[in-house]
Copies of this chain bind each other. A is one copy, B any other.
Amino acid sequence: MTELEKGPKGRRRGRGARERILSASQQLFREQGINRTGMDQLCAAAQVSKRTAYQHFTGKDELVAEYLRRFDPSVLSGVFDRTDLTPRERLLAAFDIPPDTPLCPYIGAAVELHDPQHPASQYARDYKKAVAARLADTAREAGAADPEQLGEQLALLIDGAAARTRVLNADAFPTAAAIAAVLIDNAIPTTAGDHRRREEVPS
């Protein structure tokens, strides 16, 4: 009561204001977009006074950059660290996305901010490159002929699915997954089986 619940005034601090601000950002920026989410609304949602928010972040720009920096775990690592899958399956698993996922915030940020020099835009670039690199690593692990190329191609498919889902309001990831399957089959030379869908991998 004294710790998590608020007294009507004074220090509230249930697990840090900063956390609540970033948590609210995750929700509001994705739901409404960055530009359409004002600091007033955001602070209200985070149950944080505006004054406090500006003591944790020098401005909205920094907040946005920090907000973007908190995404890897769920999307990136969540896919690549699954040791129960073969490299090949891991590549395809990148397209298995829960159908309600609001949609790649990096593209949204790059479009909304519209300034390639903005820290968030720079981080979005870095992130996209990192994803392509991890895909390339996995492709190499899977024995692809040209891992870098395959990684870049799969990254493009993911972005295409994200953008198209956003514009059409309909899930485009199955289509992207189908293309990915073709590309992977074409790029990985042998591996016992063949092209088409191959159920399991021996080891």
Contact = CB atoms under 8 A, between A and B. Distances in A.
A145 interface: no
Contacts of A36: 114
A167 B124 contact: yes
Interface in A156-171: 156-164, 166-169
Contacts of A159: 160, 163-164, 167
Interface in A32-63: 32-33, 35-36
Given A111-B33, A178-B153, A182-B183, A125 B168 contact: yes
A76 interface: no
A137 interface: no
Contacts of A156: 157, 160-161, 164, 172, 175-176, 179
Interface string A160-201: 111110111100100110110011001000000000000000
A140 interface: no
Given A33-B114, A35-B35, A35-B112, 11 more contacts: A106-B167, A107-B166, A111-B111, A125-B168, A128-B167, A156-B157, A156-B161, A156-B175, A160-B176, A163-B163, A179-B183
Interface of A: 32-33, 35-36, 106-108, 110-112, 114, 116, 124-125, 128-129, 149, 152-153, 155-164, 166-169, 172, 175-176, 178-179, 182-183, 186
30 contacts: A33-B111, A33-B112, A33-B114, A107-B111, A107-B167, A110-B167, A111-B111, A111-B112, A112-B112, A116-B169, A125-B168, A125-B169, A128-B167, A129-B168, A149-B175, A153-B178, A155-B164, A156-B161, A156-B172, A156-B175, A156-B176, A157-B157, A158-B160, A159-B160, A159-B164, A159-B167, A160-B160, A160-B163, A162-B163, A182-B183
